[in-house]
Amino acid sequence: MDALLRSAVAAAAECPLESVPPAEPRRVASAGGAQYSTALPLRLAGSLGVSASGVAETAAALLRGVARVDGARVQRGGFVALDVASEARAAMVHTAAADGAAFLGDYLGYLRGLGRLDVTEPDRAAPADERASAAPLPPPSPLHGAATAEEARRLAREDARRRMRALAGHPGAEADGACIAVQPGDVSWREPCIDSGGGDTPAGRLLAVIGEAGARVAFCRAAAERPRAGEETGPGLPAVPTAEHPGAWALGTRANPAFVLRYAHAHAVSSLRWAGEAQAAAATAAAPALAPVPLEEPAAAALAGALYDGPLVLHAARRRSEPHMLVRYLEGVAAAYHEWRGSGGLAVEAAVESAGGGSAPALGRMRLCAAAAGVLHAGLSLLGVPAPTRL
């Protein structure tokens, strides 16, 4: 989509394509997940001495009738809005389902190809032909070795930044060596720090109460690098929790964002497992490579739209060095997933039965489920948080 918009705007402005910056198309939330817009004509107008609205009108005309584009128009005097066909959005879902980490990171590779990605770690800047052999993400720091909660917080946030930079350097980097669509093994909910009772330091005692996974999400959720005393990132969610005052971070409920994120992944992977077992028992063929993904229902369109936002959010979080942007994005994906399954979009029992019989719509719904699982797994991995695979 970015390349398509750049090409149309370059032709409309009659300027070399290589001089056009990334379009960074943004999803229009009110349009049901099918409309995206860019301010590219407005960004170019001043430097080229052309009319932004004129460039936008011409670009929109060029985009109309292009394959997988249902419509294009000008908005607010210089924005180009694009209506994306359902098959294009379904293709995006298939890409995310196949490899969540590659889906999140490939936009960074695209930007590097344009010479528009600043790589702060030269040793991580692998050329495109080396992506297939990219190394796993750097291991997270042991938080239990920190003396204070503040030091553990600093380590967790730096881990997230390093891992986002590493994915930017190697868009094909493996998320801790794990495949997304089909997990090679179970990932447990168990927390070693809770099981062992933590340690004698304030950081160790905190980890014994909320676990390392909860601590990493808690530490990365705040926008402020140095939160004020008593600052919260949500109701009952201290920005710097302590063993004495962990807040909702110690709960296994919807009040705890770390629990919500990990539960959404566990639910999605479990649903895929159940459907796969039913399909195997029925001895049916695997899902076709491009099984249609039903995106007509608002909840399904909203989930697909939330998934679409991921690469742009990761790019912004990496560029600004703000891991809280990734945390809030993942929370949005988890919320959209729960809304979708709660609305009957997943309908586990029906999906399992239909998957056993090879129903194309059911297989498409499971592909959307796999996409959510893949993106959640990849995002949690960037935070250094294990993603459980069973409920």
Q: What is the mean pLDDT of the chain?
A: 85
What secondary structure letter does DSSP report for 128? G
Inter-residue contact 25 to 38 (CB < 8 Å): yes
Which tens digit of pLDDT belongs to each residue from 307-348? 999 999 999 999 999 999 999 999 999 999 999 998 887 765
Scanning the chain, the segments in alpha helix (DSSP H) are 2-13, 40-48, 52-63, 86-98, 100-113, 149-169, 192-196, 202-221, 257-281, 298-308, 310-320, 323-342, 348-357, 360-382
The closest of 17, 22, 8, 16 to 58, measured between CA atoms, is 8
Q: In this predicted structure, what is the pLDDT of residue 33?
A: 61
- The dihedral region occupied by 43, where left means phi > 0, alpha psi between -120 and 50, and beta the remainder, is alpha
Domain boundaries, the chain: 2-84, 116-177+191-250
- Start-to-end CA distance of the chain, whole Å, equals 36
What are the structure tokens assigned to 289, written together?
A: 């490579």
Instruction: Characterise 363 by phi-psi region: left (phi > 0), alpha (psi -120 to 50), beta (else).
Output: alpha
Chain segment 29-86, per-residue pLDDT in tens: 765 667 899 999 999 998 899 999 999 999 999 999 898 899 999 988 899 999 998 8
Whole-prediction pTM = 0.87
Contact predicate 190/262, CB 8 Å: no
pLDDT digits (tens, 9 = 90+) for 127-169: 444 443 455 789 999 998 899 999 999 999 999 999 999 886 6
Cα–Cα distance between 365 and 92 in angstroms, integer?
A: 14
Comparing 282 with 388, which gets the higher pLDDT? Answer: 388
How much is the CA Rg of the chain, to the nearest whole Å?
22
| Domain 2-84 top-level CATH class | alpha beta
